[in-house]
Amino acid sequence: MSKPTTTANSNDLVRMYQSMDTDGVITSKYKYLPGSPKNYRFDGRTGDFNIGGVKPVGKKIVIQPIAFKFMQDSLFARKDDNTGILKLEQWCEVYFVDESKAVCYIMFNNSSARSLLKLVESLFYEDIVENGTMRSMELTDTVLTISSEKKENTKGKYSVATFEFEIATPQSIEEYRQLCQDMQVFSRDTITETAEIGLCSLSYPVACLPVSKVQKSLSAKSYEPEFEADING
């Protein structure tokens, strides 16, 4: 599928994520099919990252988040091994642009999701200067290095994701902000009426949340944790 294009006139403003050719045609630099971003995955059994569950990419990835959403839901027909009942789990989805210039997302659950939430909350108390104004830092202001760490409990061995960050460049922060302003960056696979929405980035499209859950899409300033303890540790 080709990238979206428009033809510029004297009143058009080329956004930072766009380019214009000699004929005045404006094209997005990034590939994105609305509602179907490229899917990266973290395998908690092996500690490996992959694309679409098929192509391995190693035990570490580096991304710049452009949007995110925390939620509690029963997703992907995951069932409790003992009861056979669908598991209500903590989830986080993080959106980013990969080296192929595709808009992507990756999901984390339970312990990994809680770890990322703690980072998001701690970032809120750090300051960043933007256009001469001080504001709280957000996850979308960072470049994340995501690695895997081995763990063990009574159920066996597993891996969790760990997160380290550095501050992204002002130019990339603004470019991805414009991208999310103009395009609804989301995954239709996680849009459900049963989700309890936690913290969302300001760049996540409220229009893509269930109507009954919109009030739970909060900025960090008013966020109150709703997640219950993870029965899987």
- The larger pLDDT score, comparing residue 197 to residue 166, is at 166
1 and 33 Cβ atoms separated by less than 8 Å: yes
pLDDT digits (tens, 9 = 90+) for 169-202: 999 999 999 999 999 999 999 888 888 888 999 9
Return the amino acid letter for 63.
I
182 and 54 Cβ atoms separated by less than 8 Å: no
Over residues 33-50, mean pLDDT: 95
Q: Any bridge partners for residue 152, and if so which? A: 157
- 106: Cα within 13 Å, side-chain hemisphere: 29
Mean pLDDT (the chain) is 85
Q: How confident is the model at residue 229 (pLDDT cuts 50, 70, 90)?
A: very low
pTM of the model: 0.83
Of 155, 46, 160, 39, whose CA–CA distance to 96 is shortest? Answer: 39
pLDDT digits (tens, 9 = 90+) for 107-121: 999 899 999 999 999
105 and 96 Cβ atoms separated by less than 8 Å: yes
pLDDT at 224 over 50: no
pLDDT at 192: 85
pLDDT at 162 over 70: yes
Region of 73 (left: φ > 0; alpha: ψ -120 to 50; beta: rest) is beta
Over residues 26-42, mean pLDDT: 96
Q: Any bridge partners for residue 90, and if so which? A: 72
